[in-house]
Structure 1
Amino acid sequence: MTAHQRQELDQRLTLLAGWCGASCAFVLDTTGQDYGASSPLPDGWQALAEAAVPLVIEATRERPLRKGGHLHLMRSVEPPFAAAESFAGVYMVLLLFDEPFAAADVSALVRRALPEIEALTVALPPPDPTRVARIADGRAG
């Protein structure tokens, strides 16, 4: 992906994280490959991401995204605090929080931002297969 295209998506995710009061935000695909991330990433973001992965897996177990499923996750009352919304069949926006949040407000903000995030994401070239940067592995590209 070109640096400029990735920067635009990263900037949009940084804005969304700020509006929602999230610690950080990512765009991921169903393999965990990251396409964008808010910045700066806070200390401990890896632990937040690792705690959210089982939530996403469980939420898509019966209808995986690649098989037409949809992800709408709002874990706002008990840890790990996370919000996720899928788009374009294989991608998701994942927001991670340090504390409880207002699920209805975050859901509305994510839905409002999603068309632009989707357009920026699908415009990116496919990731370099030699570059492995997966959130589940504790790295953001």
Structure 2
Amino acid sequence: MASADEIPAWLKLHRLLVSLQDGVGATNAIVCDLAGSLLCYGLSRRPQNGPAALEVPSLRLTEAEFERERSTLGEMFERVLRARAPGNDKPGARFTVALADEEPFAYAQSFGGYVLLLWFSGPFTPFPLAAKIRPALPAIEALTVMLPPPEGPSRGAMAMPMRG
């Protein structure tokens, strides 16, 4: 079974997420589906402050590292889903959520049944952030749909469920 960091689309998406998070000053970035399965993460190797910061020496999280952060990721994702405007919880509805002034500091943008989620170590201004994310979304979506399906034989390498 191929690991995630051996799949070209995953590697490109990973690099794009790292570049995006570094470009907007985010602590970390992930792409997940609406069921909460983590498909790809940015997780820059640069040191970060804050409880949600992750430092990884390789492209892959170890199982122990992921388990330590899984509940934090899941709680943040649940909070983002609860913060959607009424009506944006229907299948296919697009949404943007900015939790800019309260913890967890997060920004989420849905696209094609997936969610780009960036989180920050402190308050941020959503409008300039949205302007920087918008041009990156087509490439993020194109790479995301190129990933092997989560229900495929390599599910463990690609999708890590955040909701327990």
Contact 1:20-1:106 at 8 Å conserved across structures: yes
Listed as ranges, the gaps of 5+ residues in structure 2 are 53-68
One of 90, 101, 108 as aligned partner of 2:124: 101
Matched with 2:7 is: 3
Seen in structure 2, the aligned counterparts of structure 1 residues 75 and 44 have a Cα distance that, compared at 3 Å, is same
Give the CA deviation at 1:40.
3.5
* Structure whose CA Rg is larger: 2
Equivalent runs, 1:1-141 vs 2, <5 Å: 3-40=7-44, 44-45=51-52, 46=69, 48-58=72-82, 59=84, 62-64=87-89, 67-88=91-112, 90-127=113-150, 128=152, 130-131=155-156, 133-136=160-163
What is the DSSP-based 3-state SS (H/G/I as helix, E as strand, rest coil) of the residue aligned with 2:109?
strand
Check the 8 A contact 2:36/2:77 in 1, yes or no: no
Per-residue CA distance 1:37-77 (angstroms, 9 max, x = gap): 00347674336524422322211664325x22112011111
* Alpha-carbon contact 2:22-2:44 (below 8 Å) kept: no
Gap change, CA 1:113 and 1:4, over 3 Å in 2 = same
Partner amino acid, structure 2, of 1:122: V
- Give structure 1 stretches of 5+ with no counterpart: none
How many angstroms does 1:105 deviate by?
1.1
Q: Which runs of 4+ in 1 moved over 6 A?
A: none
Instruction: With the length of structure 2 as denominator, give the TM-score of the two structures.
Output: 0.71
Q: Which deviates the most, 37-46 or 15-24? A: 37-46
| C-alpha distance in 2 between matches for 1:135 and 1:40 | 20
CA RMSD for the aligned pairs?
Answer: 2.4
